[in-house]
Amino acid sequence: MTREEVYKDIEEKFGLVPSFLKLVPDSTLELEWELFKRVQFDEGAIPNKYRELMGLAISAVTKCRYCTLYHTEMARLNGATEEEIEDAVHYAKSSAGWSAYINGMQVDYDQFKDELARACEYVRTSKAA
């Protein structure tokens, strides 16, 4: 496809060609757009609303304001409530915080892995009872 043909496809999806896509070189524009569409819009094993909430959580942790804005708005377009958006961000904060703590404290990985397996087994057998 030519750049103009890719732009036409992008315009059909967004109503415009976002400036960040105009930065992509001719040699990869079609490939990047096809991948973007597949990852961002096609239905997958995880419903789009939840994928966007995951994208928001990742964006919050990596502190990318562009991605945070994008995934927040895409989550809303896919039906996420403000409570779900807040919950995703709060979960990301908690996960990133614990990650920083246990990595920084250099918790023994094998011990952590063993304790996690034992805790999961306990929960499984407790639910079965």
Q: Could you list the pLDDT tens digit for every one of the 129 residues in the chain?
A: 999 999 999 999 999 999 999 999 999 999 999 999 999 999 899 999 999 999 999 999 999 999 999 999 999 999 999 999 999 999 999 999 999 999 999 999 999 999 999 999 999 999 876
DSSP-derived secondary structure letter, 91: H
Cα–chain center distance at 19: 22
User: What long-range pairs does 23-31 form, CB within 8 A, spacing at least 24?
Assistant: 29/3, 30/1, 30/6
Is 60 in contact with 97 (CB distance < 8 Å)? no
Distance CA 12, CA 76 (A): 20
Looking at this protein, which amino acid is placed at residue 23?
Answer: L
Fold of 48-129: AhpD-like (1.20.1290)
pTM above 0.75, yes or no: yes
- Answer yes or no: are the C-beta atoms of 41 and 48 closer than 8 Å: yes
Q: Would you kindly state where each structural domain of the chain is located, as residue ranges?
A: 1-42, 48-129
How far are the Cα atoms of 13, 23, 29, 117 from residue 36, in angstroms, in the given order?
Answer: 11, 14, 10, 37
